[in-house]
Homo-oligomer: A and B are copies of this chain.
Amino acid sequence: MVKITIIANGDFPTHPAPLSAIAEADYIACCDGAANACKAHGIVPDVIVGDADSISPALRQEWADKFVRIEDQDENDLTKTFNFVLQRFRNEQELHFYIVGATGKREDHTIANVALLMDYYDLLENQKLQATIIMMTDHGQFIPHSGKTVIASYKGQQVSIFAHDARNLKSTGLKWPIYDFKKYWQGTLNEALSDHFGIQAEGNYLVFLNY
């Protein structure tokens, strides 16, 4: 079992949850420009992936042995980093991915990174890997799911469900039962009624749990 934390170049985390994901990682992969923030926070990544246009020249030199340069205009640094790490650990029994620092700063990046999370989940599912992937922010966690799931919670926890490509959505244990959302915002602002809730759907959906 390998715990992999990817540090993206949004706001560097301050909440204990994403900070724990960094502290407890077996392997830390850092996106290009996030290397500067890692250095500033005393974190030494195992690898830095990107096109080298954001990391400072001094750090690029100091951590030259860690840098994997990938030029590809069709993919952002987060996707380059995810693909590199997946390739690196693809033969492991069990993989747990945590993505931190993927939100904050430019909102178009935040929206894109959250959308990309569903692509990464698809990729892990299609390769039939025993893997989980969670995006941790300073406010909560984005967790992709599919089919029927029971999710640990607490009474009053704020929950949002983004339907993505899922259909026939149903829930138990949420304040407002979910349904097939026509608009992207309709699954937001829900609330857990107890220490767990259930979701059932055909396809992949994204759960946001506020801390």
A residues neighboring B (CB under 8 Å)? 73, 76, 103-116, 119, 137, 139-140, 142, 158, 160, 162, 176, 183-185, 188-189, 208, 210
Contact = CB atoms under 8 A, between A and B. Distances in A.
B115 A185 contact: yes
B112 A107 contact: no
Copies of this chain assembled into the complex: 2
A108 B73 contact: no
27 contacts: A76-B185, A103-B107, A103-B110, A106-B139, A106-B140, A106-B158, A106-B210, A107-B114, A107-B137, A107-B139, A107-B140, A107-B142, A107-B208, A108-B160, A108-B208, A108-B210, A109-B188, A111-B111, A111-B114, A111-B162, A111-B185, A112-B160, A112-B185, A112-B188, A115-B183, A115-B185, A116-B185
Secondary structure at the A interface, as helix, strand, loop or mixed, is mixed
Given A107-B137, A137-B107, A139-B107, A112 B73 contact: no
Nearest to A104: B104
A55 to B, nearest CB: 18
B110 A107 contact: yes
A106 B162 CA distance: 14
A73 B191 CA distance: 12
Nearest to A185: B112
